[in-house]
Amino acid sequence: MLKNKNIILGVCGSIAAYKSAVLVRLLIKAGANVKVILTADAANFITPLTLATLSKNPVYTKYFEEETGVWSNHVELGLWADYMIIAPASANTIGKMANGLCDNLLSAVYLSAKCPVFYAPAMDLDMWKHESTRANIDKLQEFGNVMISPGKGELASGLYGEGRMAEPEEIISFITAVIRKNLPLTGLKVMVTAGPTYEPIDPVRFVGNHSSGKMGFALADEMARLGADVTLISGPTAEKSNQQLSRIDVITAAEMLEACTDHFAQSNIIIMSAAVADYTPAEVALQKIKKKDEEFTITLKKTTDILLTLGQMKSPEQILVGFALETNNEEENAIYKLRKKNLDLIVLNSLQDKGAGFKKDTNKITIFNRAEEKVTYELKPKAQVAQDICTAILKLYKA
């Protein structure tokens, strides 16, 4: 959820500021780009050097640094952020946010930000319960800011009660859950297949193809980024996912068939981008076949057509997407496959197109829907192609 997101972390004057170091580490670990703004009081609790080292970015403390002559553009920082987190958020800063006061860099960036703002209050019990604090909290909620509620426990004053800043792990979980809840595919299950299958000849050799799995992994990542609960069924590949999903590794077409049929019924959207072998050796030698004869013949038998099988199982509520990699009569072959296999969409790419095909980082596709209407896209990186395909699926799902 946070990978490649730009996050401003505002740190206020509170003993809980020590937790911001852990929070930065967790955000970086989640793949976010983090810039930290410290208030003057916060710098009494944690050093800019610590947070700069952890975030791998300079820490902002003032509008203007006299020593370096650098001006911190609060508007630019506010527009840069995909999310703003203020943790710990002191009673003082909450009051400024609620009333539009702007006497430091953090409050100026807050007023310039166009992104969702999360804040995690941290203060003593009496301050937390005070009527003015409650009124300020109500205002911030009305503005659309999202509070990460403080916990209950022993406070710095020695009192026991509410006011402890949420733990960094809780903050990450909370923000991730809020982001996921607002995504278009939240609550949906998606199954994606990727990569080749290897059909063994003997313990050493196999029949396979040149698929790298790049397109399938890009699709799985994009579906997960849109909030779906993704199951990725992959043949042998060196590709790795950038998102949190469930991955099932298979080798043969038979194993992929078994995994697909196991997960098909509970899937709302099924994207079959794997390059599954059409044939497999009729017999597999138990020992390595020695090189003796001038010619060597292997008898092949058809594998089960997984896409056809799933098309026969498909309910009207499910969306089934197939792929067609062609070398000739491309559109005619793709439309035939669309009809025969009961698909909702088919994605065509041709080895005739420069920059498309196996092992490339780019692809050029044409998508046909059930009405056989087509949309052709220009050559793009596969991550962008995945976005185009997912947009077409979303449009179909919402229809």
What is the domain-level CATH number for residue 106?
3.40.50.1950
Residues 67 and 154 in one domain: yes
Residues of the chain whose pLDDT is less than 50? none
Check which CATH number belongs to the domain holding 350 and give it: 3.40.50.10300
Alpha carbon distance 394, 399 (integer Å): 9
Q: Residue 211: name the closest of 193, 225, 224, 223 by CA.
A: 193
Q: Name residues whose C-beta falls within 8 Å of residue 340's C-beta, 6 or more positions apart in sequence.
A: 308, 311
Is 329:304 a contact under the CB 8 Å cutoff?
no
User: Quick one: CA torsion of 244, 248, 251, 252, rounded to 10 degrees?
Assistant: -130
Cα separation values, 336 from 306, 343, 368, 370, Å: 16, 10, 11, 11
The angle at the Cα of 29, spanning 27 to 32, to the nearest 5 degrees, equals: 50
Count CB-CB contacts under 10 A for residue 262.
13
Is 28:39 a contact under the CB 8 Å cutoff?
no
> What pLDDT is stored for residue 389 in this prediction?
97
Residues 120 and 215 in one domain: no
Residue 275's beta-bridge partner residues? 196
Q: Of the candidates 141, 158, 181, which is a domain's last residue?
A: 181
Q: Of the candidates 181, 202, 231, which is a domain's last residue?
A: 181
Backbone angles phi, psi at 133, to 5 degrees: -65, -45
Residues 219 and 316 in one domain: yes
Residues 332 and 316 in one domain: yes
If one counts the domains in the chain, the total is 2
Q: Residue 348: name the closest of 313, 309, 377 by CA.
A: 377
Alpha carbon distance 36, 216 (integer Å): 36
Residues 262 and 298 in one domain: yes
Residues 175 and 201 in one domain: no
User: Is 307 part of any domain?
Assistant: yes
Strands 345-350 and 319-326 come out as: parallel
Q: Of the candidates 127, 148, 181, which is a domain's last residue?
A: 181
Residues 33 and 176 in one domain: yes
User: Is 149 part of any domain?
Assistant: yes
> What pLDDT is stored for residue 66 in this prediction?
65
Is 111:69 a contact under the CB 8 Å cutoff?
no
Q: Residue 210: how many CA atoms within 13 Å on its side-chain side?
A: 7
Cα-Cα-Cα-Cα dihedral sign, residues 228, 313, 316, 274: positive
Residues 119 and 59 in one domain: yes
The angle at the Cα of 118, spanning 153 to 398, to the nearest 5 degrees, equals: 125
Residues 136 and 213 in one domain: no
Is 286:313 a contact under the CB 8 Å cutoff?
no
Catalytic hit among 6, 57, 73, 209: 209
> What pLDDT is stored for residue 2 in this prediction?
87
Residues 159 and 260 in one domain: no
> What pLDDT is stored for residue 144 in this prediction?
94
Strands 229-234 and 117-121 come out as: unpaired
> What pLDDT is stored for residue 355 in this prediction?
65
73 given a catalytic annotation = no
Residues 134 and 203 in one domain: no
User: Quick one: CA torsion of 132, 134, 135, 137, rounded to 10 degrees?
Assistant: 120
Residue type, 91: A
Residues 197 and 175 in one domain: no
Is 146:108 a contact under the CB 8 Å cutoff?
no
pLDDT in tens, 334-370: 999 999 999 999 999 877 767 666 667 898 999 999 9
> What pLDDT is stored for residue 3 in this prediction?
83
Alpha carbon distance 109, 132 (integer Å): 23
Q: Which domain range does residue 137 map to?
A: 6-181
User: Is 1 part of any domain?
Assistant: no
Q: Residue 115: name the closest of 84, 86, 143, 94 by CA.
A: 84
Which token pair is 72? 């911190």
User: Is 123 part of any domain?
Assistant: yes
